Amino acid sequence: MKAIFIAYNQAYYMELVELLEENGCRGYTMWEDISGRGSTDGEPHIGNHAWPTMNNAILAFVPDAKADALLSGIRSKDESTPELGLRAFVWAVEKSV
């Protein structure tokens, strides 16, 4: 099993939920209105007068076999609109209850 953390511009929310569903990944946790700044480029998403945009985040736990297809879909969305900011990070899950 893999844990996939997705940080994204709020505009991506429905697209990412649809991507999860298309890949058979039903369960996830979502946080709204988080702030941050990318490590290499892009504008900060801080929610203030200078940088008004905010991010959201999703944490999904998916079977190993579904992780690559999900990441491929995320990468495709980021490449089509890189100015919005979309990142995904994957961890191996050792155990779950």
Domains in the chain and their CATH numbers?
2-43+57-92 (3.30.70.120)
For residue 52, is pLDDT > 80? yes
Rg of the chain taking only CA atoms, in angstroms? 14
pLDDT value at residue 7? 95
Average pLDDT over residues 28-40: 88
Mean pLDDT for the chain overall: 92
Q: Tell me the pTM.
A: 0.90
The secondary structure of 70-86 as a DSSP string is HHHHHHHHHHH-GGG-E
